[in-house]
Amino acid sequence: MAVAIVLVLLVVGSILFHFLSPWYFTPIASNWGMIDDTVTITFWVTGFVFVAINFFMAYAVVRYRYQKGRRAVYEPENKKLEWWLTGFTTLGVVAMLAPGLFVWAKFVEVPKEASVIEAIGQQWHWSFRFPGKDGVLGTVDTKYVSVENPFGINTDDPNGQDDVLIASNEVHLPIDKPVKVLLRSTDVLHNFTVPQFRVKMDLVPGMVPYIWFTPTRTGKFEILCEELCGIAHFAMRGSVVVEEQTAFHTWLSSHPTFAQSSSRGAGDAVAGDPLYATCAACHGPQGEGNLALNAPKLSGLQDSYMQRQLKYFKQGARGTHDEDVFGKMMAPMAATLVDEVAIENVVAYIKTLPDKPAPATVNGDAAHGKKIYATCGVCHGPKGQGRWSTNAPRHAGMSDWYMVTQLKNFKQGIRGAHPQDMYGPQMGFMADLLVDDQAINDVVAYINTL
């Protein structure tokens, strides 16, 4: 008896949960409302079966529960009933399958007017490529990928020269325009998912799958990688900003073409020398850092990392949080660098400075830190040397007290949470692993041994 009541309660409870709980699809932001319709159809068909069979079972358990002297009915089969049930089930299956296949046919066929862009996934971030003025994406190959040509574009292909490169986790798309996204990976499997768009597809190295959709709502939507791609899988996020056509064009034209980005020089150290005078006041003439002034060591840092941080300070993506006391001191200094060329020049000068390891000032349990560092080393390198491919700066031999401050800032969202800080959120996820201050000291103590 109890079991029958429980079955009924579970069925009723499940239905109530479905309608009353706050957890369901996010509001749709693409043309794929039809997918939601197929889900609704499936819910009605399966919901009916769920209720009918379970209520029948509950009734049978009550009605035919054991009674002394009762005898079960001997009925090996009932052909007619079995065929009716089979036919009925087949109808239900067709009712779900037919609309499903109908919508799938639309998903497979990309509309002719769709524009084509490329999403590139690699451990553990996104970048994007637009075809440029000629409307054709240049050919690419994984074997061309290098620090100078991170997109792996074929330099001999004229179609590639005007491709617009978005070296960022954030891509913009115009509203109400269908877009076909080519999905390319240079390392492992990834998956391009925007929950509000409903569609998703894997990125497979060695081939180029695709999806298409039409964004129908302006706003910023999160991209998630949904195919396991290693340790930082959960932190491989990006975003799609859907906006009006004009805003989109402004955004697109602010990015360099392949030809522009590959012709840009490395920066002029001689021109950077006078610019560095401002920096030297705090960071020291050799870029060695100064604890008393809370200025970290700079010499030995990768130029791409320094350029990015200087831009962030300049744009306000860093050094604007109320609690980032020293970041706020850095922001006006970065503002003195008038343009990107100035940033490149000063970074080029810093690269000429001698790289002497910073003194150790932090005490911690390096053995415990080593265990924690197993996670850090995947991006920052097992020797803490930094890696261009993961956008991870070097930290071996750098100012340890500064790393302690920054890890705390990342953990508390003082750094890395700004929407324009591309790789900061990822570090924020990782800093969350350090459960307390002791863990931070321990891992930094280990870094000092590298």
| Distance in Å, CB of 126 to another protein, minimum | 15
Taking CB under 8 A as the criterion, which residues in 116-175 touch another protein?
Answer: 122-123, 141-143, 145-147, 152
Q: Does 209 bind another protein (CB under 8 A)?
A: yes
Q: Does 199 bind another protein (CB under 8 A)?
A: yes
Residue from 5, 44, 220, 420 touching another protein (CB under 8 A): that is 220
| Distance in Å, CB of 430 to another protein, minimum | 8
- In the complex with another protein, the residue whose CB is nearer, 191 or 261, is 191
- In the complex with another protein, the residue whose CB is nearer, 281 or 374, is 374
Q: Does 183 bind another protein (CB under 8 A)?
A: yes
- ∠ at Cα 400 (399, 402), nearest 5°? 70
| # of chain residues touching another protein (CB under 8 A) | 122
Tally of CA atoms within 13 A in the half-sphere of 445 that contains its CB: 16
Q: What H or E segment, with its residue span, contains residue 128?
A: strand 125-130
- CA 207 – CA 184 distance, rounded (Å): 7
- In the complex with another protein, the residue whose CB is nearer, 177 or 368, is 368
- ∠ at Cα 124 (231, 225), nearest 5°? 85
Angle between helices 303-315 and 325-335 (to 10 degrees): 90
| Distance in Å, CB of 421 to another protein, minimum | 13
Residue from 229, 353, 403, 445 touching another protein (CB under 8 A): that is 229
Distances (CA, A) of 116 to 128, 138, 183, 254, 371: 11, 12, 11, 19, 45
Tally of CA atoms within 13 A in the half-sphere of 27 that contains its CB: 6
| 211 contacts 226 by C-beta, under 8 angstroms | no
Taking CB under 8 A as the criterion, which residues in 13-32 touch another protein?
Answer: 14, 17, 21-26, 32
Classify residue 86 by burial, with Cβ atoms within 10 Å: 0-12, 13-18, 19+.
Answer: exposed
| Distance in Å, CB of 374 to another protein, minimum | 6
Taking CB under 8 A as the criterion, which residues in 276-305 touch another protein?
Answer: none
| 190-193 and 200-203 beta bridge pairing | antiparallel
Tokens of 271: 């021109």
Taking CB under 8 A as the criterion, which residues in 66-95 touch another protein?
Answer: 66-67, 70-79, 81-82, 85-86, 89-90, 93
Residue from 116, 136, 175, 189 touching another protein (CB under 8 A): that is 189
Taking CB under 8 A as the criterion, which residues in 356-395 touch another protein?
Answer: 372, 374-375, 378, 387-390
Q: Does 203 bind another protein (CB under 8 A)?
A: yes
Q: Which stretch binds another protein (CB under 8 A): 233-241, 267-275, 320-328, 346-354?
A: 233-241
